[in-house]
């Protein structure tokens, strides 16, 4: 910075930024790949002027000299609008490993300046906290000598779950006898890919996920299901046999539902289920958000909106005035659209009001489940404050709901689907198994599958997290073909399959030593322990140290 430049309140130094670019002049070839790849233009070509002092040796007759030279290199911009996000794509593309982004070990000042023009920070990703109570839960009931542990590699395991309203045994037998209506129930794999919309995700990412899911179903006999999120569904998928692997989501913006409703007469298969999104764990009480950067012509066409405008869904469904009537009507209408052949369930953000929702649903014969998304859930775009400070952890919420179903004797009738931060530290199978044993019938993942199947760089250490502006450097959450062509859908599909097959083995490695194989151990709380007394009491599991 020139010495006479103005110092404004938001003038920051490199050290005031959370991420600093270290660049090595000795190995840099000045190829320019790093500046080209940087998604936020945090680095640029730097033309540096350097003063060289030449002092003569002793007894030499020449005078000391001062001259100037120029060298070229990389300059990190310090304007808050161009702060490095730490994605490290520069390092990824550098042929000589000459550049890297380093997380500052000092308190950054940037956080005080992310509200330019009165716009609070928006971002993608998860709550910026690596804490996870799920990671602290251990599986302690190991079959040892009183009963044999099972062999995860050789024994048969039935690791399926049910989505849909399950009648009580007496009602089921009666309904068959009297040829009455039996609510639709789907037998699925307990790890679902949660709602990530076409729009939030790039076409290549979506296609890759769908191909992976189709392969798992058709080649590996794993009934994995994927939710569309709120953004409609590509018309060809709606009319294909693969629709049965898809959970269609309807949310408060109703984006894409014109297309879906019109496709119903041409559908070859019913969708797996319909999820009505009332809330999202990452930003509870706030609606979906697709910022204008990502609304190109394709997305606009699928969603039935004009291109280039931001699409904020309202925080609530406009028709919703009471849970007893409006929600019940919505569930009923969606059921009716497919002739009561498709399970319809609401998804809410975990909240201290979840129990009231659940209690209402137990009395609604068309409600096919309840998906609860905890505070650690991810999102493509939300206000930073919503992501970091709003919401309820999923563990105690799912446990309370399960125990409430137990109290009502309905724990097999209304499946609970848990989500939000599962596998946030990489422990997917352990987290999912813990949620299942706390009472969830199935677990939803979103961010994890982006990280594992497409190499998403976002972390809870606030790395990258720019999904909202469509500049995803991996092409996962971008609608810019120059970016999403980086992502090969075939490779994404391969990774989805890898993730599921590995998860399946790990899940068996957890349940086999617990002596469980005949059914998914939903609510097997005697297997769980935690070295935290109040957490143990709260979750009604064992306190172990």
Partner 1 sequence: MCRLFSLTSREPLSPIKAIEALEMMKEGHDGSGIGLFLSDLSGPFSNFRDMPILSGIFTQSGLRRQEDYMTGQGFLPSYRMILDVSKDPPPGTPRREIYLIQVYEPPERWKELEQDQREQLMTGTRLTLRHMGAEKKDMVIFSFWPDVIMIKEVGDPMEIAGYLRLDREELQARRIMAQGRQNTNYGINLYACHPFFIQGMSTMTNGENTAFVPIKEYLSTQGVVGYEGYQSDSEVFTHILHFTIKQLGLGIEHYKHIITPLQDSDLLIHADRDFLTSLKQSCRRLIIDGPNCVIGCLPDKTMFMVQDRKKLRPGIVGGKPGLYAFSSESCGLDAVIPDRDKTKDFQPMHLDTAIVAPDCQEVRICRQTQPLPLQH
Binding site for partner 1 (CB under 8 A): 141, 143, 146-148, 150, 155-156, 158, 160, 162, 166-173, 176, 182, 185, 187, 406-409, 411-412, 514-519, 521-526
Query: Other C-beta atoms within 10 Å of 536: how many?
Result: 17
Distance in Å, CB of 543 to partner 1, minimum: 17
The tokens of 118 are what? 């009165």
Q: Considering beta carbons, is residue 333 or 359 the nearer one to partner 1? A: 359
Q: Considering beta carbons, is residue 64 or 148 the nearer one to partner 1? A: 148
Q: Considering beta carbons, is residue 186 or 317 the nearer one to partner 1? A: 186
Non-local CB neighbours of 59 within 8 Å, separated by 6+ positions: none
Pairing of strands 161-164, 185-188: antiparallel
Query: How would DSSP label each residue in 149-179?
Result: PP-TTTS-----EEEEPPPPHHHHHHHHHTT
Q: Considering beta carbons, is residue 210 or 404 the nearer one to partner 1? A: 404
Distance in Å, CB of 153 to partner 1, minimum: 14
- 58 burial level (CB within 10 Å; 0-12, 13-18, 19+): exposed
Q: Considering beta carbons, is residue 143 or 425 the nearer one to partner 1? A: 143
For residue 229, which phi and psi values (nearest 5 degrees)? 75, 180
Q: Considering beta carbons, is residue 78 or 517 the nearer one to partner 1? A: 517
Distance in Å, CB of 165 to partner 1, minimum: 10
Distance in Å, CB of 166 to partner 1, minimum: 5
Alpha-carbon span 427 to 509, nearest angstrom: 13
Distance in Å, CB of 43 to partner 1, minimum: 55
Q: Considering beta carbons, is residue 167 or 274 the nearer one to partner 1? A: 167
Distance in Å, CB of 409 to partner 1, minimum: 4
Distance in Å, CB of 44 to partner 1, minimum: 59
Category of 469 on φ-ψ map: left (φ > 0), alpha (ψ -120 to 50) or beta: alpha
Alpha-carbon span 405 to 396, nearest angstrom: 14
Confirm if 34 and 43 have CB atoms less than 8 A apart: yes
The tokens of 397 are what? 């919420």
Among positive and negative, which fits the CA dihedral 276, 279, 285, 286? negative
The tokens of 311 are what? 């699409």
CA angle 504, 379, 464 (to 5 degrees): 95
Work out the widest C-alpha separation in the chain, in whole angstroms. 115
The tokens of 365 are what? 């014969």
Distance in Å, CB of 434 to partner 1, minimum: 15
Place of tokens 């709550």: 127
Q: Considering beta carbons, is residue 468 or 525 the nearer one to partner 1? A: 525
Distance in Å, CB of 138 to partner 1, minimum: 17
Place of tokens 């151990």: 521
Q: Considering beta carbons, is residue 284 or 513 the nearer one to partner 1? A: 513
For residue 161, the cross-strand partners are 188
Distances (CA, A) of 69 to 50, 261, 541: 5, 68, 69
Alpha-carbon span 45 to 66, nearest angstrom: 26
Distance in Å, CB of 399 to partner 1, minimum: 13
Q: Considering beta carbons, is residue 171 or 293 the nearer one to partner 1? A: 171
């Amino acid at each position: 910075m020139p010495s006479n430049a103005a110092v404004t309140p938001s003038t920051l130094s490199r050290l005031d930024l959370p991420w600093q670019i270290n660049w090595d002049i000795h190995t840099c070839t000045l190829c320019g790949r790093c500046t080209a790849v940087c998604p936020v233009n945090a680095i640029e070509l730097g033309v540096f002027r350097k003063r060289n002092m030449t002092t003569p040796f002793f007894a030499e007759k020449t005078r000391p000299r001062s001259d100037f030279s120029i060298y070229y290199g990389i300059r990190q911009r310090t304007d808050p609008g161009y702060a490095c996000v730490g994605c490290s794509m520069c390092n990824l593309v550098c042929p000589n490993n000459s550049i890297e982004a380093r997380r500052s070990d000092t308190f950054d000042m940037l956080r005080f300046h992310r509200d330019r023009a009165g716009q609070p920070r928006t971002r993608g990703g998860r709550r910026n906290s690596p804490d996870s109570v799920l990671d602290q839960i251990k599986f302690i009931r190991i079959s040892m000598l009183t009963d044999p542990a099972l062999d995860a590699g050789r024994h048969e395991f039935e690791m399926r779950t049910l989505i849909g309203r399950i009648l009580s045994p007496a009602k089921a037998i009666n309904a068959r006898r009297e040829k009455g209506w039996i609510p639709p129930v789907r037998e699925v794999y307990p790890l679902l890919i949660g709602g990530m919309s076409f729009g939030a995700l790039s076409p290549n990412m979506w296609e890759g996920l769908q191909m992976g899911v189709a392969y798992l179903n058709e080649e590996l006999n794993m009934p994995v299901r994927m939710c569309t999120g709120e953004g409609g569904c590509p018309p060809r998928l709606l009319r294909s046999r693969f629709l049965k692997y898809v959970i269609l989501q309807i949310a408060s913006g109703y984006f894409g539902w014109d297309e879906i409703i019109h496709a119903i007469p041409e559908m070859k298969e019913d969708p797996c289920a319909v999820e009505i999104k009332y809330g999202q764990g990452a930003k509870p009480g706030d609606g979906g958000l697709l910022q204008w950067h990502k609304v190109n012509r394709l997305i606009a066409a699928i969603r039935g909106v004009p291109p280039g405008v931001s699409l904020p869904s309202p925080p609530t469904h406009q028709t919703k005035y009471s849970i007893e009537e409006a929600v019940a009507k919505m569930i009923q209408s969606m059921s009716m659209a497919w002739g009561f052949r498709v399970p319809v369930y609401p998804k809410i953000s975990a909240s201290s009001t979840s129990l009231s929702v659940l209690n209402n649903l137990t009395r609604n014969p068309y409600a096919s489940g309840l998906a609860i998304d905890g505070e650690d859930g991810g999102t493509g775009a939300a206000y930073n404050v919503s992501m970091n400070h709003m919401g309820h952890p999923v563990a105690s919420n799912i446990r309370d709901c399960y125990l409430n179903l137990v109290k009502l004797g309905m724990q097999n009738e209304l499946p609970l689907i848990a989500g939000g931060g599962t596998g946030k530290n990489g422990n997917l199978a352990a987290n999912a198994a813990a949620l299942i044993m706390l009472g969830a019938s199935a677990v939803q993942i979103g961010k994890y599958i982006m990280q594992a199947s497409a190499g998403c760089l976002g972390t809870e250490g606030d790395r990258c997290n720019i999904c909202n502006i469509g500049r995803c450097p991996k092409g996962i959450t971008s609608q810019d073909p120059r970016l999403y062509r980086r992502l090969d859908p075939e490779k994404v599909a391969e990774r989805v399959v890898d993730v599921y097959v590995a998860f399946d083995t790990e899940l068996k490695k957890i349940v086999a030593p617990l002596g469980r194989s005949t059914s998914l151990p939903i609510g097997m709380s005697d297997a769980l322990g935690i070295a935290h007394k109040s957490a143990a009491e709260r979750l009604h599991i064992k306190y172990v140290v």
